[in-house]
Amino acid sequence: MLHQHRSQFPALTNKIYFNYGGQGPMPQGAMDAIIQTQAHIQELGPFGTEAYGWISPQMKTTKEAIASTLNVPSDTITLTGNVTIGCNIGMWGINWQPGDHLLLSDCEHPGIIATAQEISRRFSVEVSTCPMMATINAGDPVSVIAKNLRPHTRLVVLSHILWNTGQVLPISEIADTCRKNNSLLLVDAAQSVGVLPLNLTELGVDFYAFTGHKWLCGPAGVGGLYVRPQVRDLLNPTFIGLNGLIVNSQGQPISWQPDGRRYEVSTLSTSLYMGLQEAIATHDQWGTAVERYQQICHNSAYLWQKLTELPHVKCLKNSPPESGLVSFQLTNNQPNAELVKFLESHKILTRTIANPNCIRVSVHYLTLESEIDQLIATIKSFLGL
For each of the domains in the chain, give its residue range(s) and CATH number, in order of start. Answer: 2-26+288-383 (3.90.1150.10), 32-283 (3.40.640.10)
**What is the maximal distance between C-alpha atoms in the chain?**
75
pLDDT band at 369 (very low <50, low <70, confident <90, very high): very high
CA distances from 1 to 6, 147, 188 (A): 9, 48, 33
pLDDT band at 385 (very low <50, low <70, confident <90, very high): confident
pLDDT of residue 314: 97
Alpha-carbon torsion, ordered 30, 35, 41, 43, to 10 deg: -150
Instruction: Tell me the pLDDT of the chain averaged across its residues.
Output: 97
- Average pLDDT for 248-258: 95
pLDDT digits (tens, 9 = 90+) for 190-202: 999 999 999 999 9
pLDDT digits (tens, 9 = 90+) for 133-179: 999 999 999 999 999 999 999 999 999 999 999 999 999 999 999 99
Can you tell me the distance from the alpha carbon of 142 to that of 310, in angstroms, rounded to the nearest whole number?
33
**pLDDT at residue 341 above 90?**
yes
Amino acid sitting at position 15: K
Is the whole-model pTM more than 0.85? yes
pLDDT digits (tens, 9 = 90+) for 211-238: 999 999 999 999 999 999 999 999 999 9
| Residue 380: how many other CB atoms lie within 10 Å | 13
Can you tell me the distance from the alpha carbon of 158 to that of 136, in angstroms, rounded to the nearest whole number?
14
Alpha-carbon torsion (64, 230, 101, 199), positive or negative: negative
Amino acid sitting at position 204: G
pLDDT of residue 266: 86
- Residue 251: exposed, middle, or buried by beta-carbon count in 10 A (0-12, 13-18, 19+)? exposed
pLDDT of residue 1: 86
